[in-house]
Homo-oligomer: A and B are copies of this chain.
Amino acid sequence: MATQALASWAISLNASAIPPSVKSAAIRSLYNYIGCTIGGSKHPTVTKAHEALSPFFGRETSSLLGHQGKSRTDAQHAALLNGIASHVHDYDDTHLATIIHPTGPIASAVLAYAEYQGGVSGESILCALVAGIETSCKIGLAVWPEHYDIGWHITSTTGSVGAAVAVGKLMNLSQDQMQQAIGTAAVQVVGLREMFGSDTKSFHPGRAAQSGFLAALLAEKGYTSSDKALEAKRGWANVVAGGGTPKLDHYVSELGHKWEIEANAFKPFPCGIVCHPAIDGCIQLHKDMTDGGRKAQDIRKVEARVHPLVIELTSKRTPKDGLEGKFSVFHGGAVGLLCGKAGPAEYDDKVVTDSRVIELRDKIDATSDESLGADETYLTVHLADGSKIEKHVKHAVGSLEVPMTDNQLTEKFVDQAALVLGPNGARAASDAAWRIGEADDVASVLRAL
């Protein structure tokens, strides 16, 4: 019954009945997605895929976000390429309970379809996005954790179904068509964890977007699959459960009562999440010092007590470039203290090798403390005059306890987008992206991005 119940819930979901907190989470998820996708749009992974596929592009209806000039392609390829771009910096959103990055596959499909179709309102987009994200996260929870443990990249394996439901919602599919769309999406199981660290990792959400989109297109024309695609003995959940016992009925019955999108978190810094508390603390210390008339040059030593995983995963003392910088809590702390931020620009190769950054980095020490939470840190800055400043970060920014504020999301967006569109273009894109939910036709907004 899970397939039927999911389809039934999705087709009856009404934009006006979505609680304000859920709508706000959808707006923030979509906004963050657009920033990440623009930010990733010129990454070599995207460029290679674009180059490989451009001979097959069809009618140019849908925007490649962040691309200037030749910026549109057919809707299916737009879904794929935007999906790749959204994930390529590992800077997208995270449903922490499943570590699904839910928005990439779904928004990539929905926006590409909306622009192709025309006349789709921002309100409809947000409703479809909510339907898709709830779908992905609920079916992901049903097979968590064995599904991920065995090696599936859960973002994309659940993303195709979420994308099909979301696009199907925009198409106003019937109950039967929605069930068929779920089925044809469910057979396209894309994404293995073995690919982490390669271009194919970001291919996963892109292909999930395209696969779900395709399933909805087929279902719209009466293409059949199964009414029990998710729960059948040889259906999706049992086949991909990795030896676990799927709990589909339980999680599908929560739809509309417990909203997973409200538990969707955003990364404030483009590096491994374990060093976020230290970076957050250093940025707060930068502000304290600035307010107190102190400068980075006044720092004699910095002591950090951190969760053991920080030492295990991010203790690179002398990073040589931006990529290595992402695995150095010392670099992250140094730019936090020196610049008051740690965005993509602070992970540029030039910044990682800047002598002022290196000088400060070398003054930072980190010690492991098992008693700390994974998102907790204690920092002490010792100044040249003998005084010290202390900072306790109980929960790092970007956690569910301390979510990023809209202003912080804006800063993240603009910092990313500026590297592609320049500062003015980034600011304009940010303004447009915040308002996309209000548009009568999102196509006009997308063309401006």
Please determine whether B187 and A192 come into contact, CB atoms closer than 8 angstroms.
Answer: yes
Q: Determine the residue in chain B with the shortest Cβ distance to A226.
A: B194
Q: A56-B75, A58-B74, A223-B203 are in contact. Are A239 and B195 (CB under 8 A)?
A: no
How many angstroms from the CA of A58 to the CA of B75 in the assembled complex? 11
Number of interface residues of A (CB under 8 A): 58
**Nearest residue, chain B, Cβ from A75:** B56
Q: With contacts A59-B55, A151-B235 known, is A198 near B217, CB below 8 A?
A: no
Does A318 sit at the interface, judged by CB under 8 A? no
Q: Give every chain B residue within 8 A of A221 (Cβ-Cβ).
A: 48-49, 51-52
A222 at the interface (CB under 8 A from B): yes
Contact B199 A187 (CB under 8 A): no
With the chains together, A251 CA to B275 CA distance in Å? Answer: 45
**Which residue among A53, A56, A150, A222 has the maximum number of chain B CB atoms within 10 Å of its CB?**
A56
* A193 interfacial contact with B, CB 8 Å: yes
A188 CB–B CB distance under 8 Å: yes
Chain B residues in 8 Å Cβ range of A198: 183, 224-226
Q: How many copies of the polypeptide does the oligomer hold?
A: 2
Q: Give the docked Cα–Cα distance between A187 and B239 (Å).
A: 15
Q: Which residues of chain B have C-beta atoms less than 8 A from A220's C-beta?
A: 52
| Residue among A48, A49, A58, A190 facing the most chain B CB atoms (10 A cut-off) | A58
Assess whether A327 is interfacial by the CB under 8 Å rule: no
Decide: B187 and A188 in contact? CB cutoff 8 A: no
The distance in angstroms between the C-alpha atoms of A218 and B75, with both chains bound, is 19
User: Given A151-B233, A199-B225, 12 other A-B contacts at CB below 8 A?
Assistant: A56-B59, A151-B234, A153-B187, A183-B195, A186-B192, A187-B191, A189-B189, A194-B226, A200-B223, A200-B224, A200-B225, A239-B242
A-B contact pairs, 26 of them (CB 8 A): A51-B221, A52-B218, A52-B221, A55-B58, A150-B234, A150-B239, A151-B234, A152-B239, A183-B195, A183-B200, A187-B200, A187-B204, A192-B236, A194-B226, A194-B228, A194-B232, A194-B234, A194-B236, A198-B226, A199-B218, A199-B224, A200-B223, A200-B226, A203-B218, A203-B223, A243-B243
